[in-house]
Amino acid sequence: MKKSISLIAMSLLAGSLTIPGGRVYADENPPGNHKQRQELRRDQQQLEDLRQQRNRELREGDKHEAREYNEKIRDQKREIRQDRRTIYGQNRDRRHDRDHDHDRD
């Protein structure tokens, strides 16, 4: 009984210490304006749609169409990089390129 009470007390203490710390990471005033961030999200969604369509074409065996989608994907990535540079600056853009661009174009 005593162990369970101390375990509960410790978990409550740990929870009370971590909850306020989570607010430190929330940015109340993110970089860029709402329209810029919304456009970036829209571009990222279009990129994902293009990748899915390219993969569909590859599954169906249409390599010519897949190559055309690769060109569209490259253009979309270029647009996303420009949007990120506009919103966040040069350094942040480089980190994102490595995160999601593992597929072959």
Amino acid type, 90: Q
Residue 13 lies in a domain: no
pLDDT over 90 (residue 1)? no
Establish if 57 belongs to a structural domain: yes
Statement: the pTM of the whole predicted model exceeds 0.85? no
**pLDDT per position as a tens digit, 9-55:** 666 666 665 555 554 455 566 777 888 889 999 999 999 999 999 99
Q: Domain span at residue 43?
A: 32-105
Cβ-Cβ contacts under 8 Å for 92 (sequence gap 6 or more)? 84
Whether residue 68 lies inside any domain: the answer is yes
User: What is the H or E stretch that residue 36 is in?
Assistant: helix 34-60
- Residue 8 forms part of a structural domain: no
Question: Based on the structure, what is the number of domains in the chain?
Answer: 1
Q: How far apart are CA 81 and CA 104, in angstroms?
A: 17
> Alpha-carbon distance 54 to 71, whole Å?
10
pLDDT of residue 33: 83
36 domain-assigned: yes
